[in-house]
Structure 1
Amino acid sequence: MNPEQLTALLRTLLQFGGGIAVGRGWIDADTATTLTGALVTLIVTVWGLYARRNTGLVAAAAAVPTVKAILADPATAQAIPSPKVRPPQ
């Protein structure tokens, strides 16, 4: 599942939950809309920070079939279980 699909699923689930909360009278529609937008923004931001950390970027690059080798600092190379990622010699 790519990040766009995950965001769409998250937004739909939050809207569904907000609809239930509005239907039961727990919150009003404006509050549900505000909460949904705020939660989606926060979750997508946290996910973006996690996915774009150094090891995440190198691991994503190593998953590309046309990439033959990646030279990375020893700590990053050790953290990624791919034969394509290795420390410089």
Structure 2
Amino acid sequence: MNQDQLTTLLRTLLQFGGGIAVGRGWIDADTATTLTGALVTLLVTVWGLYVRRNAGLVASAAAVPSVQAILADPATASAIPSPKVKSPA
């Protein structure tokens, strides 16, 4: 799942939940809109930080078919389940 798909899914789920909360009178529509925007922003930021960590970047590169081999530090190499990722030894 890429970041755009994640954002769309989160926004839809939060709007659905916000619609239920507004319909039941728990919150007003402006509050639901504000909470949805804030939560989507926070969750997408956390997701972006997670996928852009060293191991995530190396795993993304290893998934590219034209990449033959990647040399990484031993900790990163052991965290990636790909035969393309090796540590220099």
* Common fold by TM > 0.5: yes
Give unpaired runs (5+ residues) of structure 1: none
Q: Which has the higher contact order (CA 8 A, sep 6+)?
A: 2
Paired-residue identity, %: 85
Q: Is the 8 A contact 2:68 2:84 kept in 1?
A: yes
1:3-49 CA deviation, whole Å, 9 max, x = no partner?
21111011001001101111111000000000000000110011111
Q: Give the paired residue count.
A: 89
Give unpaired runs (5+ residues) of structure 2: none
- 1:79, 1:29 → 2: CA distance? 44
With the length of structure 1 as denominator, give the TM-score of the two structures.
0.95
Does 2:29 match 1:29?
Answer: yes
Tell me which stretches of 4 or more aligned residues in structure 1 moved more than 2 Å: none
